[in-house]
Amino acid sequence: MKPTILILCTGNSCRSHLAEGLLRQALDERFIVASAGSNPAGYVHPLAIKAMAEVGIDISTHRSKHLNEFLEQNVETVITVCGNADQACPMFPGQVNRHHWGFDDPAHATGTEEEQMLVFRRVRDEIARVFQAYAAGRLDA
Protein backbone atom coordinates (compact mmCIF):
# COMPACT_ATOMS: atom_id res chain seq x y z
CA MET A 1 0.00 0.00 0.00
CA LYS A 2 1.35 3.40 -0.99
CA PRO A 3 1.90 5.87 1.87
CA THR A 4 -0.36 8.92 1.70
CA ILE A 5 1.15 12.34 2.40
CA LEU A 6 -1.51 14.95 3.15
CA ILE A 7 -0.64 18.65 2.98
CA LEU A 8 -2.96 20.87 5.01
CA CYS A 9 -3.65 24.58 4.92
CA THR A 10 -6.62 26.61 6.08
CA GLY A 11 -8.22 27.51 2.73
CA ASN A 12 -6.71 24.86 0.48
CA SER A 13 -6.52 27.41 -2.33
CA CYS A 14 -2.82 28.34 -2.61
CA ARG A 15 0.01 27.04 -0.42
CA SER A 16 -1.19 23.47 -0.02
CA HIS A 17 -1.80 23.15 -3.77
CA LEU A 18 1.62 24.60 -4.57
CA ALA A 19 3.15 22.08 -2.15
CA GLU A 20 1.05 19.20 -3.48
CA GLY A 21 2.08 19.86 -7.07
CA LEU A 22 5.75 20.28 -6.21
CA LEU A 23 5.90 17.24 -3.92
CA ARG A 24 4.04 15.05 -6.38
CA GLN A 25 6.60 15.99 -9.05
CA ALA A 26 9.56 15.41 -6.70
CA LEU A 27 8.38 11.99 -5.49
CA ASP A 28 7.66 8.92 -7.55
CA GLU A 29 4.66 6.65 -7.92
CA ARG A 30 5.39 4.94 -4.58
CA PHE A 31 3.58 7.81 -2.80
CA ILE A 32 0.11 9.36 -2.85
CA VAL A 33 0.21 13.14 -2.36
CA ALA A 34 -2.96 15.12 -1.60
CA SER A 35 -3.97 18.42 -0.03
CA ALA A 36 -6.93 19.69 1.96
CA GLY A 37 -8.00 22.54 4.19
CA SER A 38 -9.61 23.07 7.58
CA ASN A 39 -11.84 25.78 6.06
CA PRO A 40 -11.60 25.27 2.28
CA ALA A 41 -12.09 28.28 0.02
CA GLY A 42 -13.88 26.20 -2.58
CA TYR A 43 -11.47 27.00 -5.41
CA VAL A 44 -7.81 26.87 -6.37
CA HIS A 45 -6.44 30.38 -6.75
CA PRO A 46 -5.89 31.25 -10.44
CA LEU A 47 -2.51 32.82 -9.69
CA ALA A 48 -1.38 29.61 -7.96
CA ILE A 49 -2.29 27.73 -11.13
CA LYS A 50 -0.39 30.31 -13.20
CA ALA A 51 2.69 30.22 -10.93
CA MET A 52 2.87 26.43 -11.17
CA ALA A 53 2.40 26.47 -14.94
CA GLU A 54 5.50 28.66 -15.14
CA VAL A 55 7.54 25.75 -13.74
CA GLY A 56 5.81 23.11 -15.85
CA ILE A 57 3.40 21.74 -13.24
CA ASP A 58 -0.32 21.66 -14.03
CA ILE A 59 -2.57 22.03 -10.97
CA SER A 60 -5.56 23.28 -12.96
CA THR A 61 -7.52 20.10 -12.21
CA HIS A 62 -6.95 20.32 -8.43
CA ARG A 63 -9.95 21.10 -6.27
CA SER A 64 -10.32 22.64 -2.84
CA LYS A 65 -11.16 19.89 -0.31
CA HIS A 66 -12.00 19.69 3.38
CA LEU A 67 -9.65 17.65 5.57
CA ASN A 68 -12.65 15.57 6.70
CA GLU A 69 -12.50 13.80 3.31
CA PHE A 70 -9.35 12.10 4.58
CA LEU A 71 -10.40 11.16 8.13
CA GLU A 72 -11.30 7.61 7.08
CA GLN A 73 -8.16 7.13 4.98
CA ASN A 74 -4.82 5.76 6.04
CA VAL A 75 -2.72 8.95 6.06
CA GLU A 76 0.92 8.22 6.86
CA THR A 77 2.25 11.80 6.97
CA VAL A 78 0.53 15.13 7.58
CA ILE A 79 2.34 18.33 6.65
CA THR A 80 0.81 21.68 7.60
CA VAL A 81 1.89 24.78 5.70
CA CYS A 82 0.11 27.43 7.79
CA GLY A 83 -0.27 28.02 11.51
CA ASN A 84 -4.08 27.79 11.57
CA ALA A 85 -4.07 24.35 9.93
CA ASP A 86 -1.35 23.19 12.32
CA GLN A 87 -3.55 24.08 15.29
CA ALA A 88 -6.74 22.62 13.77
CA CYS A 89 -5.13 19.41 12.54
CA PRO A 90 -6.72 16.19 13.84
CA MET A 91 -4.99 12.84 14.07
CA PHE A 92 -5.57 10.62 11.04
CA PRO A 93 -5.80 6.82 11.03
CA GLY A 94 -2.36 5.36 10.46
CA GLN A 95 -0.63 8.71 10.90
CA VAL A 96 3.03 8.17 11.70
CA ASN A 97 4.61 11.55 10.88
CA ARG A 98 3.61 15.16 11.29
CA HIS A 99 5.54 18.19 10.10
CA HIS A 100 4.81 21.90 10.12
CA TRP A 101 6.49 24.25 7.67
CA GLY A 102 4.79 27.64 7.60
CA PHE A 103 4.77 29.88 4.54
CA ASP A 104 3.29 33.30 3.79
CA ASP A 105 -0.15 33.19 2.20
CA PRO A 106 0.18 34.58 -1.33
CA ALA A 107 -3.62 34.99 -1.51
CA HIS A 108 -3.14 38.10 0.66
CA ALA A 109 -0.84 39.74 -1.90
CA THR A 110 -2.02 43.14 -3.13
CA GLY A 111 -1.24 45.38 -6.07
CA THR A 112 -1.29 44.64 -9.75
CA GLU A 113 -1.47 41.08 -11.00
CA GLU A 114 2.26 41.20 -11.73
CA GLU A 115 2.99 42.42 -8.18
CA GLN A 116 0.83 39.61 -6.81
CA MET A 117 2.63 37.12 -9.07
CA LEU A 118 5.95 38.15 -7.52
CA VAL A 119 4.58 36.98 -4.15
CA PHE A 120 3.17 33.75 -5.62
CA ARG A 121 6.52 33.00 -7.27
CA ARG A 122 8.46 33.71 -4.07
CA VAL A 123 6.22 31.45 -1.98
CA ARG A 124 6.26 28.75 -4.69
CA ASP A 125 10.06 28.80 -4.73
CA GLU A 126 10.28 28.71 -0.91
CA ILE A 127 7.91 25.74 -0.83
CA ALA A 128 9.90 24.06 -3.60
CA ARG A 129 13.15 24.26 -1.62
CA VAL A 130 11.62 22.71 1.51
CA PHE A 131 9.53 20.04 -0.21
CA GLN A 132 12.25 18.99 -2.66
CA ALA A 133 14.59 18.43 0.28
CA TYR A 134 11.87 16.46 2.07
CA ALA A 135 11.22 14.37 -1.06
CA ALA A 136 14.93 13.62 -1.44
CA GLY A 137 15.01 12.34 2.14
CA ARG A 138 11.93 10.17 1.61
CA LEU A 139 13.34 8.68 -1.59
CA ASP A 140 16.68 7.95 0.11
CA ALA A 141 15.03 6.23 3.08
Query: Which one is catalytic: 26, 82, 85, 107?
Result: 82
Handedness of CA 132, 119, 58, 71 (dihedral sign): positive
Determine whether 82 is an active site residue.
Answer: yes
d(C-alpha 27, C-alpha 78), whole Å:
16
Choose the catalytic residue: 6, 7, 9, 75: 9
The DSSP letter of residue 102 is: -
Q: Which of 5, 48, 89, 107 is catalytic?
A: 89
Secondary structure class of 69 (helix, strand, coil): helix
Tell me if residue 14 is catalytic: no
Question: What are the residue numbers of the active site?
Answer: 9, 82, 89
